[in-house]
């Protein structure tokens, strides 16, 4: 990996999107565990960001400033995906980024069959899968053996206490003995809302927000998603009033 004039930032991948700040008119490198990767860049950034990849390293070059944007990096051969929140700023502080997999992280989920008591589909794998289905380009959406979509009532629900946030179930999947449901959250108010998993009604094993802060209603960032992992289907795990 090329030498950097500043300290290398080492990140352990645990399913949480990694924030990477790219200097305007500069470059930042991110090294991934796999030797071959593919980077999916949203179309609206094509005139502001150039991306190259080689031997597991992504080279990000920004030509103009932009706010936090979700980018998906796929590890070819395994289908493993990493999520970056890219930001371009003038003169940011930071060196190259090296991403490490957690020790003992489950292997490739595609090798798992549903019903196997030793399967490796855990909360992180299911949450990552659901997020890819919503946000990744179609060519980067994996087909994982042992995970199947299940029926879901998509009527709005009173999921978040306080009434400030509207919640609409979008899709649900089952795998590894668990269910994961993606729910759209939208701020109804004129004030920013900081999301807290303790405010979610229901019985959940895990709750992961795509973004933890909602901007005021009408702002382009007033909506996000939450991924809810449960032992039972969404309707059975949710106990709030519809």
Residue 190 lies in a domain: yes
- In CATH, what number is assigned to the domain containing residue 29? 2.60.40
pLDDT, tens only, 127-166: 888 888 887 776 667 777 788 889 998 999 999 999 999 9
Residues 123 and 226 in one domain: yes
Residue 37's Cβ-count burial label (10 Å; 0-12, 13-18, 19+) is buried
pLDDT, tens only, 51-106: 888 878 889 999 999 988 888 888 876 777 888 889 999 877 778 899 987 653 43
Confidence of residue 12 (pLDDT cuts 50, 70, 90): confident
Confidence of residue 110 (pLDDT cuts 50, 70, 90): very low
In the chain, beta strands by DSSP E: 9-13, 18-23, 26-31, 37-40, 49-54, 57-62, 66-75, 81-89, 97-101, 148-150, 165-175, 178-187, 193-194, 206-209, 213-214, 223-230
Whether residue 238 is predicted with pLDDT greater than 50 in this model: the reply is: yes
Residue 1 lies in a domain: no
- Residue 109: per-residue pLDDT: 35
- The alpha carbons of the chain give a radius of gyration, in whole angstroms, of 19
Distance spanning both ends of the chain, measured CA to CA: 53
Residues 79 and 169 in one domain: no
pTM: 0.53
Alpha-carbon gap, residue 191 to 180, rounded angstroms:
29
Residues 145 and 228 in one domain: yes
Asked if 59 and 96 count as a contact pair (C-beta separation under 8 A), the reply is no
Residues 35 and 128 in one domain: no
Whether residue 107 is predicted with pLDDT greater than 50 in this model: the reply is: no
Domain region containing 14: 9-101
Enumerate helices (H) and strands (E) in the chain, giving the number of each: 2, 16
Residue 2 lies in a domain: no
């Amino acid at each position: 990996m090329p030498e950097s004039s500043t300290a290398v930032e080492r990140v352990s991948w645990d399913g949480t999107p990694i924030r990477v700040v790219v200097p305007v008119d500069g470059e930042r490198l991110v090294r991934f565990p796999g030797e071959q990767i593919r980077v999916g860049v949203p179309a609206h950034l094509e005139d502001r960001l150039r991306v190259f990849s080689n031997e597991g390293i992504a080279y990000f070059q920004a030509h103009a400033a932009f706010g936090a944007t979700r980018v998906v990096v796929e590890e070819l051969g395994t289908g493993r995906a990493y999520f970056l929140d890219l930001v371009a700023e003038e003169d940011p502080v930071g060196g190259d980024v090296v991403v490490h997999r957690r020790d003992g992280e489950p292997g490739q989920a595609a090798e798992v069959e549903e019903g196997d008591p030793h399967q490796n589909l855990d909360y992180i794998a299911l949450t990552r899968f659901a997020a890819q289905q919503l946000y990744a380009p179609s060519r980067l959406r994996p087909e994982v053996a042992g995970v199947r979509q299940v029926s879901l009532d998509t009527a709005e629900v009173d999921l978040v206490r306080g009434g400030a946030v509207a919640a609409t179930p979008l899709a649900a999947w089952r795998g590894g003995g668990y269910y994961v449901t993606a729910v759209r959250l939208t701020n109804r108010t004129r004030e920013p809302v900081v999301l807290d998993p303790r405010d979610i009604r229901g019985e959940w094993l895990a709750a992961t927000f795509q973004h933890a802060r909602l901007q005021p209603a009408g702002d382009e960032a007033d909506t996000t998603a939450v991924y809810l992992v449960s032992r039972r289907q969404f309707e059975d795990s949710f106990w709030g009033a519809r």
